[in-house]
């Protein structure tokens, strides 16, 4: 089920009234059932995999707190980590690595027939795997106490707004909201409506409009020149941002209707001045997970292994996005950027006092991010080489093509307001007449430009 379809409209119009008619315990049961319906809409068979992951880590969580198993805590958390990552690996990476090994072997004259299992990738498996792991690892570390409320725990894992494309939920943040009674305020309703409405605009008007430019360009790089490939890269930068942050806005807005607060996942990332600043603003739930559960356990900044740990963390973070060497290369690229900036201009974000200097560094780093998006969007290393080659061809200016990028201007202007006011809902503080005009403009754009239900969300494939 997708937020931008009529099916979801019917779904939410049924779920919301039922929610407010029920007491807390029954609310959780109903939301859990609704979440399973939402997820099973793609393929009901994957519900068994979701339920298996849920039951496994619920039982391991209880075992980690059991006095009689105190000497087996390390074994229990190892079972949780290995099992969840094994499931993720089999469904997401097995065929990729098997095929890659066969290709590598052929370079040495060896013929290998890889045994492929050709499993369909379950939607959202990368997200709910991290949900469950955050629970068992935090219990093992003594940060979190396990819950005996299975319904609340299962709802934490499968809560439908954030289940398939994030933000990645931490047990310590979301689980208490499932266990304790919720009392949504009128302000939650208004803020939720704004977030959902704005996210809808970013997805169906901005992201899906720019997708037409991107898909056409990346399908046939041989026909591109320096100008058209540059426009395509700019278009993808705003497509992926509006697609992913649009989903997050809708997920957060929908959750607020139920009195549930999801983590902020984006903080104007394209106004970052360096890689460290960027990863504090882009996909915050993933970057913080990688920091807390991978980078720090590897040693973090200790033992003189900072650069190795940064490279390894970002490389694995890139592979988290999918079974393709371009994702690994994208992660490696950002790891190299982190290392380079630490070596050349450490602490840049705090040292920039002049607004002009900050602006210049922001523009420069935005283009470094765009180069990364070129790597990320390429379907293969061969296609990436073709796209880079297009930059060497004489540019042919196409004003009509460039003008289509203007669809992202409203998003950029609001990003500036959020940045300078340091307020994620800065728009709600605007004068009422400005808000009315903008809401009417968005409504008109949704009706005339919006591409309803034609494009899935990019991060569904991860």
State the catalytic residues: 321
Q: CB 157: neighbour CB atoms within 10 A?
A: 26
Dist. CA 301–CA 102, nearest whole Å: 37
Q: Which residue has the tokens 């803020």?
A: 191
DSSP state of 423: -
Closest Cα to residue 286, out of 306, 300, 272, 266? 266
CA 462 to chain CA centroid, Å, is: 8
Compute and round to an integer the Cα radius of gyration of the chain.
Answer: 23
DSSP 3-state of 185: coil
Query: Which residues lie below 8 Å from residue 153, measured CB to CB, with a gap of 6+?
Result: 54, 58, 61, 135, 147, 175, 178
User: Left, alpha or beta for 431 (phi > 0: left; psi -120 to 50: alpha)?
Assistant: beta
- Rounded CA gap, 2 and 30, in Å? 19
Cβ–Cβ < 8 Å for 28, 180: no
Instruction: Kindly report the number of other CB atoms within 10 A of residue 135's CB atom.
Output: 29
Read off the DSSP letter of residue 353. Answer: -
Give the burial class of 432: count Cβ atoms within 10 A of its Cβ; 0-12 exposed, 13-18 middle, 19 or more buried. Answer: exposed
């Amino acid at each position: 089920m997708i937020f931008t379809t009529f099916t979801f409209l019917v779904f939410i119009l049924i779920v919301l009234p039922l929610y407010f008619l029920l007491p807390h315990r029954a609310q959780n049961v109903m939301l859990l059932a609704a979440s399973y319906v939402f997820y099973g809409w793609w393929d009901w068979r994957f519900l068994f995999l979701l339920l298996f992951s849920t039951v496994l880590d619920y039982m391991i969580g209880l075992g980690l707190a059991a006095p009689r198993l105190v000497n087996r805590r390390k074994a229990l958390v190892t079972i949780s980590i290995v099992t969840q990552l094994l499931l993720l690996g089999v469904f997401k990476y097995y065929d990729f690595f098997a095929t890659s090994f066969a290709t590598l072997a052929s370079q040495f004259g060896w013929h290998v027939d890889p045994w492929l299992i050709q499993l369909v990738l379950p939607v959202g498996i990368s997200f709910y795997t991290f949900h469950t792991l955050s629970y068992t690892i935090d219990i093992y570390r003594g940060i979190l106490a396990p819950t005996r409320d299975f319904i609340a725990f299962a709802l934490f894992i499968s809560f439908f707004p954030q289940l398939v494309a994030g933000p990645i939920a931490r047990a310590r943040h979301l689980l208490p909201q499932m266990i304790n009674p919720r009392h949504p305020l009128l302000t939650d309703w208004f803020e939720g409506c704004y977030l959902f409405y704005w996210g809808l605009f970013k997805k169906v008007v901005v992201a899906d409009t720019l997708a037409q430019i991107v898909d056409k360009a990346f399908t046939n790089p041989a026909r591109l020149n320096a100008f058209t490939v540059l426009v395509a890269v700019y278009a993808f930068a705003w497509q992926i941002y509006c697609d992913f942050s649009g989903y997050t806005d809708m997920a957060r807005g929908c959750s607020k209707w139920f009195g549930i607060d999801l983590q902020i996942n984006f903080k104007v990332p394209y106004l970052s001045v360096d890689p460290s600043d960027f990863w504090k603003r882009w996909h915050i739930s993933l970057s913080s997970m990688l920091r807390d559960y991978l980078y720090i356990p590897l040693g973090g900044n200790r033992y003189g292994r900072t650069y190795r740990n940064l490279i390894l963390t970002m490389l694995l973070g890139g592979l988290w996005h999918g079974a393709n060497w371009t994702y690994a290369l994208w992660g490696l690229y950002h790891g190299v950027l982190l290392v380079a900036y630490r070596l050349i201009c450490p602490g840049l974000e705090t040292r920039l006092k002049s607004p002009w200097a900050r602006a210049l560094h922001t523009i420069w780093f935005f283009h470094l991010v765009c180069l990364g998006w070129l790597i990320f969007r390429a379907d293969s290393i061969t296609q990436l080489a073709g796209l880079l080659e297009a930059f060497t061809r004489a540019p042919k200016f196409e004003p009509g093509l460039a003008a289509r990028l203007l669809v992202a201007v409203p998003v950029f202007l609001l990003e500036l307001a959020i940045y300078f006011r340091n307020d994620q809902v800065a728009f709600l503080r605007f004068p009422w007449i400005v808000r009315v005009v903008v809401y009417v403009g968005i409504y008109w754009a949704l009706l005339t430009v919006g591409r309803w239900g034609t494009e899935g969300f990019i991060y569904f494939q991860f």
